[in-house]
Amino acid sequence: MKIVVLSGGTGTPKLLQGLKELVDDLTVIVNTAEDIWISGNKICPDIDSVIYALAEIIDDEKWWGVKGDTFKTHEQLKRLGFDEFMMIGDLDRATHIFRSELLRQGYTLTEATKKLKNAFGVKAEVLPMCEEEVATIIVTPQGEMHFQEFWVKHKGKPEVLDIYFKGIENAKATYDVIEALEECDGVIIGPSNPITSIIPILLVRGVKERLKQKKVIAVSPIVGNRPVSGPAGKFMRVKGYDVSPLGVADVYADFLDVLVVDNSDVNLVGNYKGIEVVATDTIMKDKEDAKRLSEFLIELL
Ligand code: GDP
């Protein structure tokens, strides 16, 4: 079975640890709107987390960075008076250098990502959503800031007035993304932040119309009226969506066939605006949970 997964950087990588064991032909299309150049290198937080999760080297307490990484270079840079606002591990930085050198040599991000995931021994295909640079900008009373500044530097605390994706109007689906979407048997949208991880992928020219031709299943990252982790609730509210699994269904209403909610939201099972709502355990504490949820999703497809 050929399956395409749309992914951000926390919830979906957890799920991928299950899917990779069960699907032979797996392609992950990853959000790149949180990418940022720091200390001379391009960081693709969601691509890195997807690759690290698939390679089983992700720090599975924090769900970013490499397990057991050290921060010696980061600490030395700070000591030298260089303000590196993101905590970048030494092993993690090697990934960023690898990628950035390839980009400087003229490789595309798609090519650089393939070389990187192959170097980590990852079998699944990992594709950036587009080649063009897109930046998630958070509008706050203190001014506009990049998503990473909001989330890492300001710890997600500022009031959020609006969110927009700088450069998204130029973003078009790559040949690889189009081919994956056209040839797959179905699409899974993992439990990722609908606003900042999935909407950017949906806004890439060429993606949405192809999703409309396929069976699409989404796992809700919202359980009850709260996200399992991260700022998804705050962002959904700002964009006028209800912070609930059905609010997630509203974000994907144009093309979604099935919404998977947690068993604790079993009261939502049925039909919502033509979308089938089903329930199972969606909280992934370990790989076994991820595998069980993956089996459920494959069965649905
Ligand atoms: P980001 O790039 O770090 O924002 O990561 P994602 O967008 O991939 O993931 C964040 C979303 O994953 C949050 O909205 C969480 O609620 C959701 N999430 C994290 N862990 C789980 C889980 O075990 N189950 C479910 N259903 N959602 C989860």
CA distances from 255 to 188, 210, 213, 249, 268 (A): 12, 9, 8, 10, 19
Average pLDDT, integer, range 39-59 = 98
Residue appearing with tokens 């973003």: 171
Average pLDDT, integer, range 40-61 = 97
pLDDT band at 147 (very low <50, low <70, confident <90, very high): very high
Which among 3, 4, 9, 2 is positioned nearest to 221, based on CA atoms? 9
CA of 101 to the centre of ligand 1 (A): 30
Q: What is the CATH number of the domain that holds 61?
A: 3.40.50.10680
Query: Are 99 and 112 within 8 A, CB to CB?
Result: yes
The helix/strand/coil state of 191 is: coil
Q: Given this model, what pLDDT does residue 83 score?
A: 83
**Residue 140 maps to a domain:** no
Render pLDDT for 5-26 as a digit per residue (tens, 0 to 9): 999 999 999 999 999 999 999 9
Nearest residue (by CA) to ligand 1, atom 4, is: 193
**Residue 152 maps to a domain:** no
Render pLDDT for 261-300 as a digit per residue (tens, 0 to 9): 999 999 999 999 999 999 999 999 999 999 999 999 999 9
* Tally of structural domains, the chain: 1
Average pLDDT, integer, range 49-59 = 98
**Residue 151 maps to a domain:** no
95-126 burial, b at 16+ Cβ within 10 Å, e below that, comes to bbeebbebeeeeeebbebbbebbeeeebebbb
**Residue 217 maps to a domain:** yes
CA of 57 to the centre of ligand 1 (A): 18
Evaluate: CB of 282 within 6 angstroms of ligand 1: yes
Evaluate: CB of 284 within 6 angstroms of ligand 1: yes
**Residue 74 maps to a domain:** yes
Evaluate: CB of 230 within 6 angstroms of ligand 1: yes
Evaluate: CB of 11 within 6 angstroms of ligand 1: yes
CA of 161 to the centre of ligand 1 (A): 22
Q: Where are the alpha helices (DSSP H) in the chain?
A: 11-22, 45-54, 72-79, 90-104, 109-119, 147-148, 175-183, 199-203, 208-211, 232-238, 245-251, 287-300
Evaluate: CB of 14 within 6 angstroms of ligand 1: yes
Evaluate: CB of 197 within 6 angstroms of ligand 1: yes
CA of 280 to the centre of ligand 1 (A): 16
**Residue 161 maps to a domain:** no
**Residue 208 maps to a domain:** yes
CA of 23 to the centre of ligand 1 (A): 21
Query: Are 235 and 160 within 8 A, CB to CB?
Result: yes
Q: Which amino acid is at 204?
A: V
Q: Given this model, what pLDDT does residue 237 score?
A: 96
The rounded mean pLDDT for the chain is: 97
CA 113 to chain CA centroid, Å, is 15
pLDDT band at 47 (very low <50, low <70, confident <90, very high): very high
Q: Which ligand 1 atom is the nearest neighbour of the CA of 220? A: 26
CA distances from 253 to 137, 240, 257, 274 (A): 24, 14, 8, 9
pLDDT band at 61 (very low <50, low <70, confident <90, very high): very high
**Domain that residue 6 falls in:** 2-135+167-300
Evaluate: CB of 227 within 6 angstroms of ligand 1: yes
Average pLDDT, integer, range 84-103 = 97
Q: Given this model, what pLDDT does residue 114 score?
A: 98
Specify the DSSP class assigned to residue 153: I
Query: Are 167 and 135 within 8 A, CB to CB?
Result: yes
